[in-house]
Amino acid sequence: MADLNQLNGALAHCVDADTGRDYLAMKAVRELAIDAAGAVSLQIVLPYPAKSREAEIAAQVQAALGKLDGVRSVAVQVSSRIEAHTVQRGLTPLPGVKNVIAVASGKGGVGKSTTAVNLALALAAEGARVGLLDADIYGPSQPLMLGLQGQKPESPDGKSILPMRAHGIQAMSIGFLIDAEQPMVWRGPMVTQALMQLLNDTRWDDLDYLLIDLPPGTGDIQLTLSQKVPVTGAVIVTTPQDIALLDARKGLKMFEKVGVPVTGVVENMAMHICSQCGHVEAIFGEGGGGRMADEYQVELLGQLPLEMSIRLATDTGKPSVAAEPEGKVAAIYKAIARKVAVKIGEKAKDFSAKMPKIVIQNT
C-alpha cells in the first residue's frame, strides 16, 4: 500500500508546463490523502488561472499516482486561487481589485489595445475575474473593440460608476461618457485627473486582474499611473520593427525607473501568413522582440501574426478570443495570458488588506 511519502515522491515528478516547477514546489498540493482501499484524493490549487489546462493537469497527476502499488483510484480537483501581490512601495491594492496589469507601448500603431482586450478576455476565459480600463483619454478604442459603442454606464449614487460588461469582463473608458466624435481638448493635468476618476470612481466588482490599456508614450498618464496607481506588473507590446523597438525600450525603462516590474514583452505582427498560399513573411523584421527581451532580461511572452481576422474581430466588437475561442489566435493569447498570470503569481503576496487598521481616538 502506498503511503503519503510515496505519493509526495510521485508528485515531485509532476511538472507544471506553465511554471516549469513541480506542484509540490509550487505549494499547490492540498488535502492529499489515501484511504485503506487505496483511493487517493487531492486538490491542485494553482496561483494563476488555467481553466483550459485543468483536465490536462488532472490527467497528469492521475497517471503519476496511479502507477504506485496499492493505488486503486485517484480523484484530483484542479482549481485556481488568485491572491493580491505586491505593488510599488507606499501603495496598496485598489478596493475590489487584487492585481493591476499595465499594457503599454512606446509607439502607437503596434496593436497594444488589441493585445490588451484579448489578454483581458483570455484571462477571463481561463477562469479569472477581469476588468479592463481604457486609459487613452484622447483616443479611447475599447468601446468599439468590446461592442459597447454608444452605451452609457449607470451611476447608482451620482458619485460612483458601475463598469460596463461585455464578453465576461468589466470595462470602463472615457469613451462611454462622451460622444464618439467629441475631441478631448484637454491639457495634461485634466487628463490625469480624468484617469484617476475613472479608476477610483468605478465600482470594480471583485477583480483578480485589472488590465489598463495605456496610451502610447511615456508622458503624464504613464507617470501618474506609476506614481499613484498600485501596479503589480507591466506588459510591453511592440512589433519587430526597429523604430517600434526603440520606443518600446523607453517604455520598459520608464517602468524600471519607477519600480514597476515588467512581466514581459509581446511581439505583435511578428509574421504574415498568406491566406492564399500559406507563405510566411516577416514584413516588419524578425526577432526584434526576442532581442529586446534578452537585452533587458525579461521574458518574450509570445508572438502574434499579422492576420486580418484579428483586425476584423476587434472592428466588429468581438475580439479574437471571444469570436473564435478555440482558434489558433485565441490559443496564443491564452498562452500569453497564463505566462503573465504566472509571473504575477510568483511575486510576493500583499497582506495589507488582512492587516488590522489602527485608529487613534481621543477619549
Is 152 annotated to bind a ligand? Reply is no
- Residue 310's nearest CA partner among 281, 337, 270, 339 is 270
DSSP of 145-199, one letter per residue? HTT-TT-----SSSS-BPPEEETTEEEEEGGGTS-TT------HHHHHHHHHHHH
Is 287 annotated to bind ligand? no
Q: Please list the residues that pair with 79 across neighbouring strands.
A: 45
Give, as one character, the DSSP assignment of residue 354.
Answer: G
317 labeled binding residue: no
Please check if 339 is assigned to a binding site.
Answer: no
Confirm or deny that 106 is annotated as ligand binding: yes
**b/e for 222-233, b at 16 or more Cβ within 10 A?**
bebbbeebbbbb
264 contacts 235 by C-beta, under 8 angstroms:
yes
Q: How many CB atoms lie within 10 A of CB 3?
A: 11
Q: According to the annotation, is 251 in a ligand binding site?
A: no
The x, y and z cell numbers of residue 171, run together, are 470595462
**β-sheet bridge partners, residue 39:** 73
Which cell numbers in the block locate residue 100?
A: 493591476
Q: Which residues are annotated as a binding site for ATP?
A: 106-113
Q: Which residues are annotated as a binding site?
A: 106-113
